[in-house]
Amino acid sequence: MCVDGRLLLDAGAPLLTHLHRLGIDPGGIETIFLTHFHADHTLGLAPFVLHRLFRDKRPFTIVGPTGVEERMEAFFRFAWHDDFWLEFRARLPLTYVEAGERGELNGIRYETVALKHGAGGCTGYRLWIDGRLLAYSGDTEPTPELEQLVEGAEIAIIEATGPGDQFSHMPWDAALALRDRHPETRYFFNHIYEGTLENATEDLTVVEV
């Protein structure tokens, strides 16, 4: 997801293609918040970093869970081979930040909420963007920490993978129940792997809020 043309929430595989198709300048992205390192949340960064190296040299930051630099550097070395990546890395204005419990980056204040998703877990974010609070789950099992994530948020982007039991992800009934417990929040459900439900987002959708 891209917010205000300057912020990414995770970075799945068609990232650069989708930004171009939506007319969003990939060079305008200042901060990338990663919730965890699974492929469907990170693979889009392999071509993205080349755009930022060869087409637009403005600095940008990748924020993520503990070990973000080590994990992403290993990924980029795999993607581009060690020799190319060493060259690229030396010229790329990329900074890594471990998210910790809270922080502020490029004018965006944030808090993190630890969610449940496999051995590495998932870092949910509460982001204050121009004074408005956006909550973003990334991938998670239904867990009590989601209440804290969405508390007081104007907007919540929550994963809702599918109907019935979903391995280490949110089933629809849990996502809808979370919505109904916090009706003051506007919901967008994403990460939907089959079918659709109320408040579902679709690819390449632009929403004004």
Whether residue 17 contacts residue 48, with contact meaning beta carbons closer than 8 Å, is answered with no
Cα-based distances in Å from 108 to 1, 7, 49: 16, 9, 22
User: Toward Zn ion, which CB reaches closer, 34 or 133?
Assistant: 34
Does 10 participate in binding Zn ion (rule CB under 5 A)? no
State the minimum distance, in angstroms, from the CB of residue 139 to Zn ion.
Answer: 4
Residue 180, CB-side half-sphere exposure with 13 Å CA sphere: 7
Tell me, residue by residue from 123 to 142, as one string, x for binding to Zn ion by CB under 5 A and - for no binding: ----------------x---
The SS3 assignment for 174 reads helix
Please work out, in degrees rounded to the nearest 5, the angle formed at the alpha carbon of residue 17 by the alpha carbons of 16 and 20.
85
Tell me, residue by residue from 51 to 70, as one string, x for binding to Zn ion by CB under 5 A and - for no binding: --------------------
The SS3 assignment for 129 reads strand
Window contacting Zn ion (CB under 5 A); options: 13-21, 37-45, 51-59, 197-205: 37-45
Whether residue 156 contacts residue 182, with contact meaning beta carbons closer than 8 Å, is answered with yes
Residue 103, CB-side half-sphere exposure with 13 Å CA sphere: 14
Interface pick for Zn ion out of 6, 14, 24, 38 (rule CB under 5 A): 38
Does 147 participate in binding Zn ion (rule CB under 5 A)? no
Reported as type and span, the H/E element at residue 164 is: none
Give which of 133, 107, 135 is closest to 123, Cα–Cα: 135
Does 40 participate in binding Zn ion (rule CB under 5 A)? yes
State the minimum distance, in angstroms, from the CB of residue 28 to Zn ion.
Answer: 25
Give which of 29, 180, 168, 120 is closest to 198, Cα–Cα: 180
User: Toward Zn ion, which CB reaches closer, 106 or 196?
Assistant: 196
Does 111 participate in binding Zn ion (rule CB under 5 A)? no
State the minimum distance, in angstroms, from the CB of residue 11 to Zn ion.
Answer: 12
Window contacting Zn ion (CB under 5 A); options: 13-21, 35-43, 93-101, 174-182: 35-43
User: Toward Zn ion, which CB reaches closer, 113 or 133?
Assistant: 113
Residues at the interface with Zn ion (CB under 5 A): 38, 40, 139
